[in-house]
A and B are shown apart, each in its own frame.
Chain A
Amino acid sequence: MQPFKNINSRVVALPLNDIDTDQIIPARFLKVTDKVGLGANLFSDWRYFSDGSPKPEFILNKPESKGAAILFAGDNFGCGSSREHAPWALTDFGFRAVVATSFGDIFRNNSLKNGLLPIQVDPTTHTLMHELLDELPRAEWNIDLEAQTLTLPNGTSVHFAIDPFAKTCLIKGKDELGYLLSFASQTAAYEQTHHKQQVTA
């Protein structure tokens, strides 16, 4: 995982509620055994005609979306399937942050493990952001993870919450596995006292 750097980027607006991970990456693209190149199939069914040609009106196909690192979505983004292919596809496309009023639990966890920052804002702030995007669709937004601020093109600075542990992992580009492995002896001690469950090989 790459360390999370501050972002200055245009924003792709997809302000729909309940965008599920089947839309982010349809199941037929989950037959892979690696993580490579999934960005090409990001939002595949909304993005391409059945002959594979891009739908020009879909936001990701518009020239101004190229290179954008921030996705602006609605409520409950990433609900549904647990597929980590969703954040793999989003980051492969170039996204580094998603702004929404809430996230699917599993998607949020998966995102944090892939350097994709889920930024949750309250509905009032979300509405203001939406209006600002209509007004200034090509303006850049700034995300400072260390300060936990998202600065809008009108100068407004929005503070966002993030679990301090996840924040440290993102900034250092560290996976949680190393941390978990450091508790090997505690885990062994736990296994000694934990009642014997009946799962046996």
Chain B
Amino acid sequence: MSQPLTLFQKVWNEHLVTQQPGAPAVLYIDLHLIHEVTSPQAFTGLREKNLAVRRPDRTVATVDHAIPTLPSKDGSVAGRLAFADDLSRKQIAQLETNANQFGIRSYGPASSQNGIVHVVGPELGFTQPGMTIVCGDSHTSTHGAFGALAFGIGTSEVEHVLATQCLLQHQPKTCEVKVEGKLGTGVSAKDIILALIAKIGVGGGIGYVLEYSGSTIRALSMEERMTICNMSIEAGARAGMIAPDEVTYAYLAGKPFAPQGAEWDAAVARWETLPTDAGAVFDKTVTLDASALEPMITFGTNPGMGIPINGKIPTTSDFSESSQQAALEKSLLYMGLKAGDPILGHPVDVVFIGSCTNSRISDLRLAASVMKNRQVAQGVRVLVVPGSQQIKRQAEAEGLDKIFKDAGAEWREAGCSMCIAMNGDQLTPGQYAVSTSNRNFEGRQGKGGRTFLASPLTAAAAAVTGQVTDVRTLLDE
């Protein structure tokens, strides 16, 4: 019998074009996703070197980071782009020019399938098990939820993949993250990943590809699995992966770019060989007890600074190293919080429900379930930003938009929006936001803005109470 392999090792081995002595592996890339912010300089590089895109059929473009999400009065794209500044308009136009000139399929602002790159790829069926997937965006780890090896790259590497469909890579190590137990009421996928990052730290995954396994992971939907894999990068991991199973196949079946008919059967047969073999060895293992989890929230300025919603902000005495103590003090100074205080009840100015972490239809349904028949608290601004135009249509068909609007929230067009605050959706200095996004770095949601990361349920609870709230107290009513 051949040596037992992990999911990662199987996908890696399958994509080795060559490995020369003393050099990194040449890894074949099945799917290259591009967006407007990290690709322009790569296309400039191609033009300077007179190179073509090797596989435009394996390249997919969308516009998401810079696109305004304010709906225009007349519903037109031009009206929406009028909200953007000149630089962003130029960047968006440049992507369209590049896609046209190099023959790349593009879901620009005018497309009915436009949306966040990590939402569009899966919902159109481009993302499939066993693939290698890259994008000039760190949250490419999202696609690992399908059993793909998916990771973020820089702009030089975007150019490399455009020109050669290959990437030079050193083989990362593997870490199994075993999550066992049943999640409690009001606890969701976002809480699992925030708890994991709080446990292993924002550098805990450096050099590793994480494979999430265990009964809790198996019980999650594809959208929940995407939320978990999405934030693998926030633990510093190269990628996060989940072995494909019936949940994966049920999600993919019938998607526009998923295999059809006999090809589908052949693909499933291939995908069924991907899960980690019994006896395969990981370089490291981490465990998490899902049944003990509470809703999580961050208090600091990196995603590892998370606590249970009823917990207290740590004090310097909780840390042994002076560098950790200094990091805590610096983050609390920025956040305007006190060590040892509870976070529950802290006033909130803005609630953001969206981003490639939590903008899918199930996220919006959860948020709407809390906001239904309730009102946004006085003085709180709530943005609900669907991850794609397709999700927006679905939500509207289900009447979710009406629930949000009736509650007093803003219902927006698709885009990255206030997760990265490049498009005009941003916090003002000093504001506090509960956000379903992935980063609470200083200034991430607007210069001087202060972010509490949490799940869609917890964000919706803050929206209607105006403060950091344990959503379970609202669910029990």
Chain A residues with a Cβ under 8 A of chain B: 15-18, 20, 22-23, 26-28, 30-35, 45, 50, 74-76, 79-84, 87, 102-106, 109-110, 113-114, 163-165, 175-177, 179-181, 183-184, 186-187, 190-191, 194-195, 197-201
Contact = CB atoms under 8 A, between A and B. Distances in A.
Most buried by A among B37, B85, B257: B37
B28 A84 contact: no
B326 A181 contact: no
B259 interface: yes
Given A33-B40, A79-B202, A186-B26, A22 B442 contact: yes
A92 to B, nearest CB: 13
Contact of B57 (A75, A194, A200): A200
Contacts of B125: 198
A32 to B, nearest CB: 7
Nearest to B419: A27
Contact of B447 (A45, A75, A81): A45
A199 B153 CA distance: 20
B87 A31 contact: yes
Given A177-B164, A201-B105, A82 B153 contact: yes
A177 B22 contact: no
B258 A198 contact: yes
A15 B442 CA distance: 17
Contacts of B24: 163, 165
Nearest to A76: B203
A91 B323 CA distance: 26
Contacts of A183: 17-18, 26, 164, 166
A198 B203 contact: no
Nearest to B84: A31
Nearest to B203: A76
Interface in B405-426: 420-422
A57 B298 CA distance: 29
Contacts of B165: 187, 191
Nearest to A198: B259
A60 B358 CA distance: 37
Contacts of A35: 41
B439 interface: yes
A177 B439 CA distance: 32
A179 B23 contact: yes
B299 to A, nearest CB: 15
Interface string B439-458: 10111100110000000000
B159 interface: yes
B441 A102 contact: no
A163 B170 contact: yes
Contact of B26 (A17, A20, A180, A194): A180
A45 B301 CA distance: 14
B138 A26 contact: no
B37 A30 contact: yes
A197 B163 CA distance: 19
Given A190-B28, A191-B28, A197-B128, 8 more contacts: A16-B330, A23-B442, A27-B65, A32-B91, A83-B38, A165-B23, A183-B166, A191-B165
A74 B66 CA distance: 32
A18 B166 contact: no
B236 A199 contact: no
Given A45-B447, A201-B57, A30 B422 contact: yes
Nearest to A45: B443
B105 A187 contact: no
A20 B23 CA distance: 29
B14 to A, nearest CB: 8
A201 B330 contact: no
A34 B28 contact: no
A22 B267 contact: no
B238 interface: yes
Nearest to B60: A199
A50 B447 contact: yes
B58 interface: yes
B5 interface: no
A176 B56 CA distance: 21
Contacts of B472: none
B378 interface: no
B166 A74 contact: no
A75 to B, nearest CB: 6
Contacts of B444: 22, 27
Given A104-B236, A187-B166, A17 B206 contact: no
Interface in B112-137: 125-126, 128, 131, 136-137
Nearest to A74: B323
29 contacts: A20-B302, A20-B441, A22-B439, A22-B444, A30-B65, A31-B422, A33-B91, A33-B94, A76-B206, A79-B302, A82-B38, A84-B154, A87-B154, A102-B206, A106-B152, A106-B153, A109-B154, A109-B157, A177-B45, A177-B49, A180-B163, A180-B168, A183-B166, A186-B18, A187-B28, A197-B58, A198-B263, A199-B31, A199-B60
Contacts of A195: 270
Given A75-B323, A199-B257, A201-B56, A190 B17 contact: yes
Contacts of B40: 32-34
B88 interface: yes
B441 A106 contact: no
A18 B28 contact: no
B447 A33 contact: no
Contacts of B330: 16
Contacts of A74: 323
Nearest to A20: B441
Interface string B79-102: 000000101101100100000000
A33 B41 contact: yes
Contact of B160 (A83, A106, A177): A177
B160 to A, nearest CB: 5
